[in-house]
């Protein structure tokens, strides 16, 4: 008997894509120079175990996988202190324009950043804002904002109104506060990404 239904390879790809879309997945991505941002991504994943395992941006072959997710959590350090562009000094810098040209409408995005609020107090976690702006260009729904009043610093490009546009972390001067900040933020994301985390 011959089946009246036949599936091409493309059909199976579409079925897999649709299944992934409906399984409500959240990806965690990071770029790092010293390994600190990767460590934070792993620690955050322990608190958000339903998210996918963290991926190093340097190993990412295609940004199109962003559009197959329901939520994205990004980790970015600030190395190019005081710079107006390419502030992270990592793989994020070369992908900013590509991110901005994606169609991420309806996808929730949260950012955590690493910086030094003591030594670089006038540019604390500046790279978060740059990444944030390109996800906004892509139409993403930004979540995970944190009150600036919980931090001691002079200035940051990542402050929008009364809040940081993500979670700033200081593993150099305030590492003793990181665990509590991660726990509080993970609980915040479970609310702001309810249904996908």
Domain with residue 146: its CATH number is: 3.40.50.360
What's the pLDDT at 159? 96
2 in any annotated domain = no
9 in any annotated domain = no
What span, in angstroms and rounded, lies between the C-alpha atoms of 97 and 95? 6
Q: Domain limits at 32? A: 25-192
76 in any annotated domain = yes
What span, in angstroms and rounded, lies between the C-alpha atoms of 56 and 46? 17
What's the pLDDT at 169? 97
110 in any annotated domain = yes
Stretches in the chain below the pLDDT threshold 70: 1-23
Give the count of domains, the chain. Answer: 1
Longest alpha-carbon distance in the chain: 76
5 in any annotated domain = no
What's the pLDDT at 23? 59
15 in any annotated domain = no
Kindly report the pTM of this predicted structure. Answer: 0.86
167 in any annotated domain = yes
What span, in angstroms and rounded, lies between the C-alpha atoms of 93 and 83? 12
At residue 146, the 3 state secondary structure works out as strand
4 in any annotated domain = no
């Amino acid at each position: 008997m011959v089946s009246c239904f036949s599936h091409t390879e493309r059909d199976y790809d579409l079925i897999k894509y649709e299944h992934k879309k409906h399984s409500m997945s959240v990806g965690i991505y990071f770029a790092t120079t010293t390994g600190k941002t990767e460590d934070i991504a792993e620690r955050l994943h322990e608190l958000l175990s339903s998210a996918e395992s963290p991926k190093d941006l340097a190993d990412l072959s295609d940004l199109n996988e962003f559009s197959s997710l329901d939520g994205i959590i990004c980790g970015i350090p600030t190395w190019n202190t005081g710079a107006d562009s390419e502030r992270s000094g990592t793989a994020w810098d070369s992908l900013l324009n590509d991110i901005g040209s994606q169609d991420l409408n309806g996808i929730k995005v949260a950012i955590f950043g690493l910086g030094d609020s003591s030594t670089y107090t006038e540019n604390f976690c500046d790279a978060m804002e740059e990444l944030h702006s390109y996800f906004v260009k892509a139409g993403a729904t930004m979540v995970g904002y944190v009150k600036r009043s919980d931090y001691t610093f002079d200035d940051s490009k990542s402050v929008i109104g009364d809040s940081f546009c993500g979670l700033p972390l200081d593993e150099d001067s305030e590492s003793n506060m990181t665990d509590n900040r991660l726990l509080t933020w993970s609980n915040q994301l479970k609310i702001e990404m309810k249904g996908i985390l």
